[in-house]
C-alpha cells in the first residue's frame, strides 16, 4: 500500500543490519535489493514480515538471487510510474499511540489539535479523490503544508515521512462550532463549548471520518429520547462511544477478543452483552441485551470524550433510513431540524463511509456491516479471477464488489438502493473503485430479481458478459469465499427475501452448492405473503398466513394476535387464500415474523428485521425445550413451518411464558436445520454446512444450530470477514462469476 511507511521501515531495518542496497515502489508493490552476510539477509527477511508498520499489509514476499554489486549504503529509490497499478489505498485508521501522546503533550506543536495524524494513522479512503495516493489527489489538497510539516514529510527518519494527510494548527483544517441553523458561533475552544452543550442535554451533529454523527450525552435520558423522536428512530438501538476498554467494561461484558476488536486500528462498533447496571439512558437500546460500543477513533473524538468525561451516544447523522450526511451544506440542510448545533470542520469527506459493525462470535470477529476502517482493503481469495469482475450486489444493505487476480474489493456499505442518494453513491462508487484499483470489468454479476436497481444497472452496461446469480446461491458462495472454501457444501440460506429461480420468493433454503452452481434440495413450505411488501412491514399478516397454513379450517379461537388485528384479519386472510397480491414465500425470516406476532411481541415494525430481533431478545437462553419437527420424504425435502406454528400456539394455550416459547421455537429451528442437513448428508455424503443469510444475525439461533450440527459431526462454516446479511451478497456474486469463468 502507499503511504504506510513501508519504505522508511525497510530503510531503517536494512541500515540497522548493515545491509547495502535500495528499496522502491513499483506498480506491483515494493521491491528491495539487499547485499550483505547471509545471516543478516535472513534476519532482514524475518523482520520484514514480523515488524512491518501497522498499516502495511504484507501479502507475500518473493525472493530471488541477484549478482553482487559491491555498492555501499542503502537508499530509497524514486517511485516508478506507468503500467497496471497494483498498489492499494489503505482504510482509515484510528489515531495511533504516538499521535495520542503528542495530542496530550502541552509542549508539542500539535497539542490539542483535532486533525493530528501520521504515517501510522489517520484518514485515508474517505479523503482519497484519485490515485496515486498523493496529497493533491486527496481532500487535503486545499491545505498546503507549512515549512515544519514539509520538513517532516520529506525526512525518511520521521514518523510523518510521506504521510499525505499530515498537517498542524498552522496549515491544516480547523474546527468550527455552528448553531442549529448552521451559523458560526464564535467560541475560543469549540470542543469545550460542544462538551458544555452535550452536558446541557443538547443534540450535536459532529463531523467524523466518513460522515456526520448525531451526538448526545449517553447518560441523559431526556436528550436520548429527544434524539429518537427528532430522528424518527423509534426503537433501533443507538451505539455508544467511550474512551477506553475500562469504560466499555462499565457498560458491557468485554472478554479478551472483544477488547482486541475494540482497541484495534479499525475501531468498529462492537456488539456486546450489556451488564445489568450499565450507566446509560434506557432509551439507548430499549429491550436489548446487547449494546453497540466503540472507542474514539479520531483526535476530535478523544478531545470531546475527555472534555465531556463520559460516554456519548453517537449515531449516524440522518433521518431514519436515509444515508448518513457527509457534505457540509447538505448536513446543515438535512440535520437542521434534529441538531441543536454542529461541531464541524473544513476537511472535506470524499466518500461517505458508515461505521462498521462487528461482534465476537465463535472465537473470532464476525462482521455485520463492513465499512469504515475495513474498506477498501481487499478480501484475498484462494482462486484467481480469470477476467476482472464487477458484482452489483443486492437491493438492501447494498455493497458492490470489483475483483481481479486474487483480490476482491468490496465497497463501503452503500445502503438501500431504493433511495436516490444511495443509488447515486452506488453508481459513483463503482466509477471511483474502477479508477482507484484500475479494474475494467469484463464480467458483471447481478441478482436475478428484475426490479433490483443493481440488476437494472448491470443490464444497462454494454460490452460485458452478464452473469445472473440466484440470491441464496450468492449468500452461500459468499460464505465459501469468506472461509476460503470452494468444495461442495450444504448451504443453509435463511433470510427475509430473495428472488428464487422459480420466480417465487425464497428465504428458507437448503442448497447443495459449490461456487459454480447449486441444487435446491430442501426448503421451508411456502406460504402466501398477503399484500406482498406490506406483509414485511406488518408481521401480523405473516401470522395470519402461517396460521391459515397450520390450521386447515380455522386457527383456535381466542388468539390474541387475531383479536388485536380483528378488523383486517378476514380481508387479509381472504386475500392470501385467493392468491391476490400474495406471492408465495419460503422465507425463514417471515416465519420468525409470524411467531413474533403470534406471541404478541410485535405486529408491525419500525426497522428491518425488528420482529425477529425482538423475538430473539425475548427468548429465555436457559430454556432447552424444543418442538417436534416435520419434514417430507420427497426430494426436494419440504420442512413444515405449520408444525412449528401449531406447537407455538399449543404452548400459548397452556399459558407457557412467552420467553420459554420463544426459546423453544429457536431450539426447534436449530433442530430442524440439523435434521434436514442430516437427511441431505445421508443422500449425498456432504458433511460441510455453510450458514448464510440475514437470519443468521440471530446469535441465539446461530449458536444453537452450530452446537446441534457439530454434535452430529458436521463441519460448520459461518461468516467472519463479510456480513451474512445482504451486505455480503456482492462477494458471493463475484465468487460465482469467477468460478464460472474458470470453468470455461
Ligand atoms: Zn499517528
Ligand atoms: Zn503544518
Ligand atoms: Zn438475502
Q: Domains in the chain and their CATH numbers?
A: 6-76 (3.30.70.100), 175-345 (3.90.870.10), 370-484+727-743 (3.30.420.360), 488-720 (3.30.420.40)
Give dist(CA 678, CA 671) in Å, integer: 10
Cis peptide before 132 (omega within 30 of 0): yes
Residue 264 burial (CB count, 10 A): 17
Residue 296 C-alpha cell reads as 474514539
Spacing, Cα 110 to ligand 2 middle (Å): 9
Q: Burial level of 660, CB count in 10 A (0-12/13-18/19+)?
A: middle
**Is residue 304 within 8 Å of 161, Cβ to Cβ?**
no
Cα(79)–Cα(28) distance, integer angstroms: 12
pLDDT for res 83: 47
CB 688 within 8 A of CB 671: no
Helix (H) / strand (E) containing 446: strand 443-447
Helical (H) or strand (E) element with 47: helix 38-50
| Residue ranges with strand state E in 481-633 | 489-499, 505-513, 518-524, 527-528, 584-585
Q: How many residues does the chain have?
A: 744
Pairing of strands 290-295, 443-447: unpaired
pLDDT computed for residue 276 by the predictor: 86
- Three-state secondary-structure class, residue 589: helix
The kind and range of the H/E element at 469 are strand 465-469
Helices (H) then strands (E): counts for the chain: 23, 25
Residues with CB under 5 Å of ion ligand 1 are 96, 99, 118, 120-121
Distance 683 CA to ligand 2 centre (A): 69
Q: How close is the Cα of 394 to the center of ligand 3, in Å?
A: 8
- If we measure between CA atoms, which residue out of 372, 430, 350, 425 comes closest to residue 164? 350
Quote the ligand 3 centre to 684 CA distance (angstroms).
26
Residue 159 CA to ligand 1 center (angstroms) comes to 8
* Nearest listed ligand to the Cα of residue 144: 2
pLDDT of residue 420: 87
CA of 422 to the centre of ligand 1 (A): 32
> Do β-strands 443-447 and 401-410 pair in parallel, antiparallel, or remain unpaired?
unpaired
**CA of 733, nearest ligand number:** 3
Distance 120 CA to ligand 1 centre (A): 5
Instruction: Calculate how far, in angstroms, residue 168's C-alpha sits from the geometric centre of ligand 1.
Output: 13
Contact of 149 with 166, CB cutoff 8 Å: yes
CA distance 466 to 444: 5
Q: Please give the model's pTM, rounded to 2 decimal places.
A: 0.94
- HSE-up of residue 475 (Cα within 13 Å, Cβ side): 32
Instruction: List residues bridging with 252 in a β-sheet.
Output: 274
Peptide bond into 673 cis (omega under 30): no
Sheet bearing 20-26, strands edge to edge: 29-35, 20-26, 74-76
Q: How many angstroms is it from 148 CA to the middle of ligand 2?
A: 6
Cell of 742: 474458470
Q: Which residues contact 102 (CB under 8 A, 6 or more apart)?
A: 108, 110, 111, 116
Place of cell 489505498: 89
Beta strands in 579-650 (DSSP E): 584-585, 637-639
CA atoms of 91 and 121, how far apart (whole Å):
10
* Alpha-carbon span 255 to 178, nearest angstrom: 40
Q: In terms of Cα–Cα distance, which of 147, 389, 369 is closest to 270?
A: 369
Q: How far is the CA of 496 from the centre of ligand 3 (A)?
A: 6
Cα(91) to ligand 2 centroid in Å equals: 23
Find the ligand nearest to 167 CA.
Answer: 2
Q: Quick one: cell of 499?
A: 428472488
Q: What averages of pLDDT result for each successive group of 10 residues across the chain (744 residues)?
A: 77 91 80 92 92 82 90 79 61 97 98 97 95 90 97 91 94 98 97 98 98 97 96 92 97 97 97 90 89 98 97 92 91 96 98 97 97 96 96 97 96 92 95 95 98 96 97 98 94 97 97 98 97 97 96 88 95 93 97 98 94 97 97 96 97 97 98 98 98 98 98 98 98 98 93
Give residue 165 CA to ligand 2 midpoint distance, Å.
10
What residue has cell string 455453510? Answer: 690
Q: Of 444, 409, 360, 569, give the one whose Cα is nearest residue 89.
A: 409
C-alpha 96 to ligand 2 mean position (Å) = 19
Three-state secondary structure call for residue 447: strand
Residue 302: nearest ligand to its CA?
Answer: 1
Closest by Cα among 385, 406, 474 to 739 = 385
Distance 266 CA to ligand 1 centre (A): 14
How far is residue 512's CA from residue 490's CA, in Å, rounded to a whole number? 5
User: 376 CA distance to ligand 3 centroid (A)?
Assistant: 22
234: which 3 cell numbers?
423509534
C-alpha 475 – ligand 3 centre gap (Å): 7
In angstroms, rounded to a whole number, what is the distance separating the alpha carbons of residues 726 and 647?
A: 31
Long-range contacts of 13-20 (CB under 8 A, 24+ apart): 13/44, 13/47, 13/48, 13/51, 14/44, 14/74, 15/74, 17/43, 17/44, 19/44, 19/74, 20/69, 20/71, 20/72, 20/73, 20/74
DSSP string, 486-510: -S-EEEEEEEEEEE-TTSSEEEEEE
What are the Cα distances from residue 135, in Å, to 141, 166, 167, 522? 6, 9, 11, 54
Give the closest residue to 239 by CA, choosing from 256, 222, 214: 214
Number of Cα atoms under 13 Å in the Cβ half of residue 660 = 10
- Do the Cβ atoms of 171 and 143 come closer than 8 Å? yes
Amino acid at each position: 500500500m502507499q503511504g504506510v511507511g513501508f519504505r522508511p521501515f525497510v530503510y531503517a531495518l536494512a541500515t540497522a543490519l548493515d545491509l547495502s542496497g535500495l528499496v522502491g515502489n513499483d506498480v506491483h508493490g515494493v521491491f528491495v535489493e539487499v547485499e550483505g552476510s547471509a545471516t543478516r539477509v535472513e534476519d532482514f527477511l524475518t523482520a520484514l514480515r514480523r515488524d512491518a508498520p501497522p498499516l502495511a499489509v504484507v501479502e507475500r514476499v518473493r525472493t530471488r538471487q541477484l549478482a553482487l554489486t559491491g555498492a555501499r549504503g542503502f537508499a530509497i529509490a524514486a517511485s516508478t510510474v506507468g503500467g497496471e497499478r497494483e498498489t492499494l489505498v489503505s482504510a482509515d485508521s484510528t489515531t495511533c499511540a504516538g499521535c495520542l501522546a503528542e495530542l496530550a503533550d502541552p509542549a508539542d506543536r500539535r497539542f490539542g489539535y483535532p486533525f493530528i495524524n501520521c504515517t501510522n494513522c489517520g484518514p485515508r479512503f474517505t479523503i482519497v479523490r484519485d490515485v496515486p495516493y498523493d496529497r493533491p489527489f486527496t481532500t487535503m489538497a486545499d491545505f498546503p503544508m507549512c515549512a515544519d510539516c514539509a520538513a517532516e514529510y520529506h525526512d525518511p527518519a520521521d514518523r510523518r515521512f510521506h504521510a499525505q494527510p499530515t498537517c498542524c494548527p498552522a496549515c491544516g483544517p480547523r474546527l468550527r462550532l455552528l448553531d442549529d441553523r448552521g451559523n458560526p458561533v464564535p467560541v475560543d475552544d469549540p470542543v469545550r463549548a460542544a462538551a458544555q452543550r452535550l452536558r446541557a442535554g443538547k443534540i450535536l451533529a459532529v463531523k467524523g471520518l466518513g460522515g456526520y454523527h448525531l451526538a448526545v450525552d449517553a447518560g441523559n435520558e431526556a436528550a436520548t429520547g429527544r434524539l429518537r423522536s427528532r430522528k424518527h428512530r423509534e426503537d433501533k438501538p443507538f451505539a455508544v462511544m467511550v474512551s477506553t476498554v475500562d469504560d466499555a467494561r462499565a457498560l458491557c461484558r468485554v472478554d479478551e477478543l472483544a477488547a482486541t476488536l475494540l482497541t484495534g486500528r479499525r475501531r468498529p462498533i462492537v456488539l456486546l452483552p450489556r451488564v445489568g447496571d450499565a450507566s446509560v439512558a434506557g432509551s439507548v437500546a430499549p429491550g436489548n441485551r446487547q449494546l453497540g460500543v466503540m472507542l474514539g477513533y479520531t483526535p476530535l473524538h478523544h478531545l470531546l470524550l475527555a472534555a465531556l468525561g463520559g460516554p456519548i451516544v453517537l449515531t449516524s447523522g440522518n433521518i431514519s433510513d436515509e444515508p448518513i450526511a457527509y457534505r457540509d451544506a447538505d448536513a446543515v440542510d438535512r440535520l437542521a431540524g434534529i441538531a441543536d448545533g454542529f461541531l464541524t470542520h473544513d476537511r472535506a469527506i470524499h466518500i461517505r463511509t458508515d461505521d462498521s459493525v462487528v461482534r465476537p462470535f465463535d472465537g473470532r470477529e464476525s462482521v455485520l456491516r463492513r465499512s469504515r476502517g475495513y474498506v477498501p482493503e481487499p478480501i484475498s481469495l484462494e482462486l484467481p479471477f480469470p477476467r476482472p469482475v464487477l458484482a452489483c450486489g443486492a437491493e438492501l444493505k447494498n455493497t458492490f464488489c470489483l475483483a481481479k487476480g486474487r483480490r476482491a474489493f468490496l465497497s463501503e456499505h452503500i445502503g438501500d438502493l431504493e433511495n436516490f442518494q444511495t443509488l447515486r453513491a452506488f453508481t459513483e462508487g463503482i466509477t471511483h473503485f474502477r479508477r482507484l484499483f484500475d479494474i475494467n470489468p469484463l464480467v458483471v454479476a447481478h441478482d436475478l430479481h428484475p426490479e433490483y436497481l443493481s440488476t437494472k444497472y448491470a443490464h444497462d452496461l454494454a460490452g460485458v458478459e452478464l452473469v445472473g446469480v440466484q440470491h441464496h446461491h450468492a449468500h452461500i458462495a459468499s460464505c465459501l469465499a469468506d472461509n476460503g472454501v470452494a468444495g461442495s457444501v450444504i448451504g443453509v440460506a435463511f433470510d427475509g427475501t430473495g428472488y428464487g429461480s422459480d420466480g417465487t420468493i425464497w428465504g428458507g433454503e437448503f442448497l447443495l452448492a459449490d461456487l459454480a452452481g447449486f441444487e435446491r434440495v430442501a426448503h421451508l413450505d411456502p406460504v402466501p405473503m398477503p399484500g406482498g411488501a406490506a406483509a414485511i412491514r406488518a408481521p401480523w399478516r405473516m401470522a395470519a398466513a402461517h396460521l391459515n397454513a397450520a390450521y386447515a379450517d380455522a386457527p383456535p379461537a381466542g388468539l390474541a394476535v387475531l383479536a388485536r388485528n380483528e378488523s383486517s384479519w378476514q380481508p387479509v386472510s381472504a386475500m392470501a387464500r385467493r392468491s391476490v397480491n400474495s406471492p408465495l414465500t419460503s422465507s425463514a425470516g417471515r416465519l420468525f415474523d409470524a411467531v413474533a406476532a403470534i406471541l404478541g411481541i410485535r405486529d408491525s415494525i419500525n426497522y428491518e428485521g425488528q420482529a425477529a430481533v425482538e423475538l430473539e431478545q425475548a427468548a429465555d437462553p436457559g430454556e432447552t425445550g424444543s418442538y417436534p419437527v416435520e419434514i417430507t420424504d420427497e426430494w426436494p425435502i419440504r420442512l413444515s413451518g405449520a408444525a412449528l406454528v401449531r406447537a407455538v400456539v399449543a404452548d400459548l394455550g397452556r399459558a407457557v411464558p412467552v420467553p420459554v416459547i420463544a426459546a423453544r421455537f429457536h431450539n426447534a429451528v436449530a433442530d430442524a436445520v440439523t435434521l434436514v442437513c442430516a437427511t441431505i448428508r445421508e443422500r449425498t455424503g456432504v458433511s460441510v454446512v455453510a450458514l448464510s443469510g440475514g437470519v443468521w444475525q440471530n446469535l441465539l439461533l446461530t449458536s444453537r444450530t452450530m452446537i446441534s450440527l457439530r454434535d452430529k459431526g458436521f463441519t460448520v462454516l459461518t461468516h467472519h470477514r463479510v456480513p451474512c446479511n445482504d451486505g455480503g451478497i456482492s462477494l458471493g456474486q463475484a465468487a460465482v462469476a469467477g468460478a464460472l469463468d474458470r470453468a470455461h
